[in-house]
Amino acid sequence: MDRKKIKLNIDNIKPFIDQKSLDALTPEIIAADEKIKKGTGKGANFLGWLHLPSRTDKKLISDINNIAGEVRKNKSILLCIGIGGSYLGSRAGIEFLSPLFSNKRGIGGEGVFFCGNNLNSDYIEDLLGSLEKDADIYVNVISKSGTTIEPALAFRLVYDYMRKRYDKKELTKRVICTTDKEKGALKKMASQQGFRTFVIPDDVGGRFSVLTPVGLFPMACAGVNIEELLNGAADLEQDVSKEKIETIDAYKYAAVRNALYRQGKHIEILSDFHPSLHSVLEWCKQLLAESEGKEGKGIFPSIADFTTDLHAIGQLIQQGARNIFETFVIMQASGKKAQIPQLEEDIDQLNYLAGKTLDYVDSMAYRGTVQAHTTGGVPNMTLQIPERSAYCLGQIYYFFEISVAVSGYLLGINPFDQPGVEAYKNNMYKLLNKPR
């Protein structure tokens, strides 16, 4: 079966980087590839994500689908509690595959709502206040330690709400914990209360965890075909293991980014022309920033939603400081066709577009933007997504994960730790007078 693959186009990089400069990076790419595949680089104890697509246990997939099927059968609302990599990946997947104006976010109309990703009273109170009295509710709390303050406090509030709503037996059935296999506050609570659990593997860091139960369970509850998701990622995993280094698109992406970084292009704008890609790029932003931003190094990732942001930051991109480059993430095919009607009066003078679709106009806006930014001195490349499918989504996840691992090694840093994240926490805990 011929499957549709995502593809990277770097033609618009050529005016800014010659092939000789890219070829000069090949020895570094080969070294990074070896570090990843042989586990000899910094942070090698967190390479568990590398073979998740092909080695995820079928029983685990079945267990996820069984509990998700229970949630969906009852047309339940799932409150998904987590922060960072514990929610961004699943949110990205659900919003990528869902109708854009679902009343309840989910492919089949089932609701998956996210909390625990901030410390805002309005957010949690408005969320709980919006739940109808007859709504059927499940909770998935995601945390390796169980003590990260944002999800831990959200879970306290949600758990208190659930205790008032359900008796102990029902409550036990309705809380699913995704956490450490053996240790941590959440694991302890799950064991004491008899909650069902999924395990976060020890060798997979949070931002690389989307293809573990961290991401798979919420997506399955929203109706995502997680087998197809894993198939897409597994096909890309296979390509990375078998293809020549110079033909692997994810490695080309890492090479181009680092070549531009070495030219002083320290800001990457991830741009889309489809609203369903916004949260995908949010996931990318966290993955890239937390993996690369350390030791005084790193490419700063930003997001632009076009054509909307062409009327916001478009001026800066076009004529501002030339310390930026751009990666377009483009949907090639849409499932909907909004055809432009003919109007007799033609007051807006748009009849010349009558009969064409909005997607056609959007594609011309993309082409025009690429031309303008290229001539304006902004190096750019395009990751082409064939369709909104779970299979393509799996490829997107794996593409960026393997690419940022290579890119991190090109930068000379450990792409799998995040020591700087603790700084704000330590200061906050001191201000809160946390007991030692």
Residues with active-site annotation = 290, 311, 425
What number of other Cβ atoms are within 10 A of residue 250's Cβ?
24
Q: Among 120, 46, 53, which Cα is nearest to 85's?
A: 46
CA distance 323 to 327: 14
CA 141 to mean position of chain CA atoms: 18
Q: Among 366, 383, 265, 251, which Cα is nearest to 325's?
A: 265
Q: SS3 for 305?
A: strand
Mode of pairing for the β-strands spanning 111-115 and 267-272: unpaired
Q: Among 337, 387, 385, which Cα is nearest to 362's?
A: 337
Does residue 166 contact residue 174 with C-beta atoms inside 8 Å? yes
Helix, strand, coil shares of the chain, percent, nearest 5, are: 55, 15, 35
How would DSSP label each residue in 359-389? HHHHHHHHHHHHHHHHHTT--EEEEEE--SS
Q: b or e along 137-161 (b: 16 or more beta carbons within 10 Å of the residue's beta carbon)?
A: bbbbbbbbebebebbbebbebbbeb
